[in-house]
Structures are given as C-alpha cells and as structure tokens.
Amino acid sequence: MTRTKLDGTTAVITGAGSGIGRATALLAAAKGARLVLTDVSADTLAETVRLVGQAGGTVMHHEALDVRHVDAVDAFAARTHEVTGPVDVVMNVAGISTWGRIQDLSTEHWRRTVDIDLMGPIHVLSAFVPPMIEARRGGHVVNVSSAAGLFGLPLHAPYSAAKFGLRGVSEVLRFDLAPYGIGVTLVVPGAVNTPLVGTVDIVGVDRDDPKVRKAVDSFARHAVTPEKAAAAIVRGVERGRYLVYTSQDIRALHLTQRYAPFVYNIIMRVMNQQARRVLKRKVAPPADR
C-alpha cells in the first residue's frame, strides 16, 4: 500500500477544465500540490487555472489538447518535464460518455469513446510514468474509471468497453509499479453531477423526449457533487487505497455483485426493463456503419 501525501508533489491532471477534474485540481492545490493541467477546452482550462491561482495554488504548466492524439500528449509531457522534471502524481480524469443500443451505434461511436476513455489515459501514462520510474522517488497514478467499469449497466456498451479496459490497465499497473513505490488508485464513480450529464451522447434517443428528460433529471438528483468525488479521490491517494468509490450505492452494488450474484442479476434485469420503458417510442434508424 503506497500512501501519497500531495503536499510538495507535482501532479498532472487531465480533464481539468470542469467537473471532477476541476474539483480535483482545486483540492490538490489546496493540499499543497503544484499542478500541471490539461483539458480539451482552452477556455474552461484557463478558468480552472484562474481559480487555482485565486485560491493561492500553483499551476506550473497547462495546455489544451486532445488526449486521443499521442503526439500531442508526448509533446505536452516533454514541455512539462522541461519545466518540472519528472512528476510525482498522474491523474487521468478526462473522458466522455456514449450510450446506446447495439443496433444504433456506429463504429465511430465505439472508436471515439475507446480512443478518449482508454487510449487517452494510456497515452498519458506512457508519457509520464516511465520518467517517474527512472526518478526512483515513488509517486501515484490515479485512473478514473466508472461504475460502468464494474457493472453491466444498460446501454453502456461503448463506455463500458473503455472503462473496463482502464480498470484492467490499473489492475496490472497496481502490481507492476509497486516495486518502484508508485501507488495506483482506481476510481469508480457512480452518478456525479458534472457537465457530462448534460452532454452524454445517448445514440438514437431524442434527449428532448419527456421520458428521457425525466430519466436524466432523476440521474442528476441522485448524483454527488464533483467536490465530493474529488474529496474521495484525494482521500484514496493519501490513504493508499486501490479502489475508490465516490458514493455508497456503488460500493453496495459491487459487494452484491461479488457476494450475491443472484441478487445482482435481478437488479441488472430490472434496470434494463426500466431502460426499455424509457426507450419505448419511435427510435431513429440505425447509424450508417
């Protein structure tokens, strides 16, 4: 178990422009970390940098980039290392969410989700972790997966493909990096009230449909705040925890999945029935493949 205090560390955080990423950046800065921040949106990233500075924190380097592009990530890492040397903490928070029925999803839906949510973190890890190993001063890796990386949630196939993959990467690195004193924390958020709630791509579904709006509103009402999720992440890093839940409902369902699989199967069937009721309407034609 590797406990990592953030005070005095240099921490890279992706997806820092909003939601969990911004909340984690603000909390890490308050804990004394020097930050290296990135997000796909230059405007929201600049706002996070401003908020960190306003709160008395330090941003050593920041760049807007798309984590799908390995050359951009490598260049970002090279420029970061020129400023900071090897970093101490890497937090992969950036991500998107795509939901839909298999018959409505195009290859591009799958590819974009996997490229951002799985290959993006892999690009970041490949650019920043080897120098951490060479520096021989330990550190920490945080990968934000999802409840969809634990459970077979309805309509989540592309998202789960990426988040289960990130969970697998984390499970391997948990042991591979231990000899170097580098801890790994896997975060599995449930509902978090971030801008992602309003922008999730539900393929083949009219988001203005009253039933869909009602379902999305219900999701938002049960969601935790980004600040609560960030607090769970930082606490997990400081206590050396591998698996971090951001809400108790996900912890309870995970225990049910492991120790009462029959009950878990019933819950999943009920959730799928509810999803089918929401979708019981005229659905758009399948996307071109």
Note if 159 is an active site residue.
yes
Start-to-end Cα distance in the chain? 46
Q: Are the CB atoms for 57 and 26 separated by under 8 Å? A: yes
Taken in order 22, 26, 28, 29, is the CA torsion positive or negative?
positive
Residues sharing a CB contact under 8 Å with residue 124, sequence separation 6 or more, in sequence order: 12, 14, 67, 73, 77, 90, 92
For residues 232-263, one letter each, b for 16 or more C-beta atoms within 10 angstroms of the residue's C-beta and e for the rest, the string is bbbebbbeebebbbbbeebeebbebbeeeeee
Residue 87's CB: how many other CB atoms inside 10 A?
Answer: 24
Per annotation, catalytic residue among 159, 242, 245, 259 = 159
Catalytic residues: 159
